[in-house]
Amino acid sequence: MAPIEVFFGLIVFVFSLIGLARGFLKELGVTTVMMCLLFFLSLFEPHLDKGMVKVLSANTQFVPLDRKDELECWLFVFVIVSAAFVSYQGETLAFGGEPPRGSQGVLLGLLTGLLNGYLIAGAIWYYMDKLNYPIAALGFSSDKLSGFARGLIEFLPTNFLGQPILFGQSLLLYLSGLLIMARVIR
């Protein structure tokens, strides 16, 4: 299995190519959804953890409690991938208008695609890291991480953009608000 930073780096690269093909305005719709999703996940994550313990404690005959982290990780991956799929499918969330043309359009599409790739792949990596890489089938583990990969963990979206900046609220909230405002004004 390739190192985790190569694996997620490739995903980000693919998303940047998708951004290049789809154009800036469609990609910005995906950014809005992903930013809001990450904000809500960061808010509800502690409650979800408690809820999972309660549910699994009551149903130990179906799923043992020691598989809680794996189940939680699958749930996060499922939610993030589903949100990404929904926001990429169709045009309902895309910003209206005609995207910029020429080299500017290419650059903006590429950068926004890169940002979306970072948000999607980074969020999945964040939850895998937080739950200590419970999905064994993927072959990642915290012991095998390189120094570079360990250094990148600080910059994963929920760690990096989840820091409280103003009035104790995270940057994710402000960015989500800004994107929603832009969408409404548009």
Partner 1 sequence: MSWNVDQYALIGITLLLFGFLGFRRGANRELRSMVGIGLAMLLARVLVPNLGKQINFLHKLGRFALAVVDSDPSNAWQEAQLLPDLSQTPEDLQFVSLLVFLGIILLCYLWGQSRIAAPSCLSLKMLGAVAGGINGFLVAYYVFPILLKSEAVIRVPGGEINAALGNSRTMALAAVFAVVVLIGLGLKASRSPNPRD
Please enumerate, as own/partner, the contacts of 136-143 that have beta carbons within 8 Å and a separation of 24 or more: 138/1, 139/1, 140/1, 140/4, 140/7
Strand, helix or coil for residue 111: helix
Distance CA 104, CA 83 (A): 28
| Radius of gyration of the chain measured on its C-alpha atoms | 18
Helix (H) or strand (E) holding 151: helix 147-153
Distance CA 43, CA 169 (A): 11
Closest separation between CB of residue 96 and partner 1, Å? Answer: 3
Work out which of 61, 62, 85, 98 binds partner 1, going by CB under 8 A: 98
Nearer to partner 1, 30 or 73 (CB): 30
Q: Measured in whole angstroms, how far is the alpha carbon of residue 165 from the centre of its chain? A: 20
Work out which of 20, 25, 33, 145 binds partner 1, going by CB under 8 A: 25
Question: What are the structure tokens assigned to 168, written together?
Answer: 């104790």
User: Under rule CB under 8 A, which residues in 121-160 are in contact with partner 1?
Assistant: 154, 160
Closest separation between CB of residue 2 and partner 1, Å? Answer: 19
Our finding on whether 186 is near partner 1 (CB under 8 A) is yes
Question: What are the structure tokens assigned to 122, written together?
Answer: 């980074």
Work out which of 59, 82, 104, 141 binds partner 1, going by CB under 8 A: 104
Our finding on whether 92 is near partner 1 (CB under 8 A) is no
Closest separation between CB of residue 170 and partner 1, Å? Answer: 9
Our finding on whether 113 is near partner 1 (CB under 8 A) is no
Work out which of 52, 63, 174, 177 binds partner 1, going by CB under 8 A: 174
Question: What are the structure tokens assigned to 106, written together?
Answer: 């290419």
Strand, helix or coil for residue 15: helix
Tell me, residue by residue from 59 to 88, as one string, x for binding to partner 1 by CB under 8 A and - for no binding: ------------------------------
User: Which chain residues interact with partner 1 by CB under 8 A?
Assistant: 24-25, 28, 95-100, 104-105, 107-108, 111-112, 115, 154, 160-161, 163, 165, 171, 174-175, 178-179, 182, 186
